[in-house]
A and B are shown apart, each in its own frame.
Chain A
Amino acid sequence: MPHDVTASDRRGFHEDTAAIVVGGLLVALALVVGWNARPAEDAGSRKAFPKGWPNPLAATIDKPQTWDDSPAMSLSDKKGKPLTVPILLGMAWVVGVLAGGAALRGRSLPAVLPGAAALALLGGLAYLLAAQKLINHYNLEYPLWALLVGLLIGNTVGVPRWLEPALQGEFLIKAGLVVFGAEVLFSRLLELGLPGLLTSWVVTPIVLVATYWFGVHRMKIPSKSLCMVISADMSVCGVSAAIATGAACKAKKEELSLAIGLSLLFTVAMMVAMPPFIRWARIDPIVGGAWLGGTIDATGAVVAAGEMLGKELDDKRPAEVAATVKMIQNSMIGIIAFAVAVYWAGWVERGSSGPRTSLAAEAWDRFPKFILGFVAASVVCSFLHTRSPETALWVDGATLSFTSRLRGWLFCVGFVCMGIQTVFRELAPFLASGRPLLLYVLGQCLNLALSLAMASLTFGWLFRKVVEP
């Protein structure tokens, strides 16, 4: 039986507090280093720095690149620049985060380090599997392969004793979410004005709440957290939303694994099927793009589907509007995760154990505090991002080239840990009932119908300028 690392067997900080401290320090480090390296000229020019100011920390982290015939190709970028050192340093960052978390929580560092190094290597293996070109182009993202690597080890040879102290999957996911907060910028919400807001902010919450309610009350799925994770990953933005809401509602590892599997399966199917359908049904390209952005779970798959549609129609607008609508949905993750955490702490968990003290005191007691770190990182970076063109490029440089890569490594190794601690047998009842699959399908049907209606209303009619010939 693997050692289950819980927040209660601690001598130092609580797991959530440690995640906030480690994640917050990493975001602060990225910002400070980025500020010290600000360019002397054109510091506010998006044209000069399309992805923000270059951040020196970018040289300290990378991941295996796409490869088709030989995995050795993954160790260099498209221009042939070797990436072995940044990839190894990426693993070192993970070891550092695990060591920092262990130190803050009063655990023995020598006991954690060997396991942390092994887990980082397994994370690298998962990234390598995800980087295979065909896998990469059909959006089968790294969490799936990280879970697979972990499952194979946990369900064959089991967990060696020396690895147990480093199995801190939940801590890595929480720290990764705090770092992720820096990428969730509220200013992005306004990128497509009112039509973009209506398409994302009206449809997404309706679909999320309706799917959750239907799963719990009509389909009688026993696990409310499973219903929530499926509803969030299907209605918001796939794996990233599943991770954030799963942590907010304390979903089981098996539930998160199942929701991610469902999401990736349907993402591939929708990415392939929707562009030809839009063309066949003669849906307006801009409406079609908004529909893709509002319904396909994963961001990369949305852009790929938009590109396919655009190529078929010889029009770049579907890809652009699809990506922008999805980015607006990405920016909702913080608010959704916070709302789910409040609802869970105040109503769901309270209901299951009966009232003891006041609602507020009980809710605060159960509230997953790391969500505050996630929201704080988001608010601070959003504030900085809106101050001036220079600060926008400063934040973009720190997030696009460093924190997003670091967050990827933390999630990847976090999922390896979760896979190792997941027992196949516990997944069986979920799979056998078929109800989670049905819930996903029904929710996605509602999402498709409402998103098409709202995209037609906003991008196709209400806010469409009449183009004079």
Chain B
Amino acid sequence: MITPRLAGPLRLAACAGMVALAWLVVLPWVGRLPPMKQHVRAMDDGEVNPAAMVYTELERLPLRPDWADREIVLWP
């Protein structure tokens, strides 16, 4: 018999178990599938931080590239 006092911790334990299963087993397995592996490698090779929330979190500061002055009229 599960008492109301125990119900909350048991629910939390069950949720934590599911999160652990997803993060420690499922996601690593999905990450090993060829299309995912290829995507991750391509981003790593390009030194991209896809999780950046704003530009200050990027691996490289996105300053004006050299070609922009040659190909775009920046200030007419």
Provide the bound-state CA to CA distance between A459 and B73, in Å.
Answer: 9
Interface centre among A51, A71, A134, A320 (most CB of B within 10 A): A134
Residues in B with CB closer than 8 Å to A320 are 62, 65, 67-68
Question: Of A193, A239, A400, A408, which contacts B75 at CB under 8 A?
Answer: A193
Which residue on chain A has the smallest CB distance to residue B14? A156
Q: Is the interface of A mostly helix, strand, loop or mixed?
A: helix
Provide the bound-state CA to CA distance between A271 and B28, in Å.
Answer: 21
Interface centre among B9, B53, B68, B76 (most CB of A within 10 A): B53
Provide the bound-state CA to CA distance between A459 and B36, in Å.
Answer: 33
Question: Of B19, B28, B63, which contacts A191 at CB under 8 A?
Answer: B63
Q: Which segment of A6-14, A84-92, A293-301 sits at the interface?
A: A293-301
The answer to whether A307 and B64 have CB atoms under 8 Å apart is: no
Provide the bound-state CA to CA distance between A24 and B30, in Å.
Answer: 43
The number of residues on chain A lying at the interface, defined by a beta carbon within 8 Å of a beta carbon of chain B, is: 69
Contacts across chains A and B counted by CB atoms under 8 Å: 165
CB of A217 closer than 8 Å to a CB of B: no
Give 1 or 0 for each of A311-352: 1 = CB within 8 Å of chain B CB: 100001101110110110010000000000000000000000
Q: Is the interface of B mostly helix, strand, loop or mixed?
A: helix
The number of residues on chain B lying at the interface, defined by a beta carbon within 8 Å of a beta carbon of chain A, is: 45
The answer to whether B54 and A139 have CB atoms under 8 Å apart is: no
The answer to whether A459 and B63 have CB atoms under 8 Å apart is: no
Which residue on chain A has the smallest CB distance to residue B66? A320
The answer to whether A133 and B31 have CB atoms under 8 Å apart is: yes
The answer to whether B51 and A69 have CB atoms under 8 Å apart is: no
CB of B21 closer than 8 Å to a CB of A: no
Within 8 A of B (CB), among A111-156: 129-130, 132-142, 148, 152-153, 156
Provide the bound-state CA to CA distance between A130 and B73, in Å.
Answer: 40
The answer to whether B71 and A465 have CB atoms under 8 Å apart is: yes
Which residue on chain A has the smallest CB distance to residue B75? A193
Give 1 or 0 for each of B13-29: 1 = CB within 8 Å of chain A CB: 00110010001100110
CB of A396 closer than 8 Å to a CB of B: yes
Residues in B with CB closer than 8 Å to A157 are 8-9, 11-12
Provide the bound-state CA to CA distance between A324 and B70, in Å.
Answer: 16
CB of A467 closer than 8 Å to a CB of B: yes
17 contacts between A and B (CB under 8 A): A71-B23, A138-B50, A139-B50, A152-B19, A157-B9, A192-B64, A192-B68, A192-B74, A193-B75, A300-B51, A300-B52, A303-B48, A304-B43, A317-B65, A319-B46, A321-B68, A464-B73
| Chain A residues close to B by CB (< 8 Å) | 46, 50-51, 68-69, 71, 129-130, 132-142, 148, 152-153, 156-158, 180, 183, 188, 191-196, 237-240, 271, 286, 298-301, 303-304, 307-308, 311, 316-317, 319-321, 323-324, 326-327, 330, 396, 399-400, 404, 408, 459, 463-465, 467
If A301-B50, A465-B73 are given as contacts, then 11 extra A-B residue pairs at C-beta distance below 8 Å, sorted by A number, are A133-B40, A137-B40, A183-B54, A192-B64, A192-B68, A193-B73, A194-B74, A195-B73, A195-B74, A307-B42, A408-B53
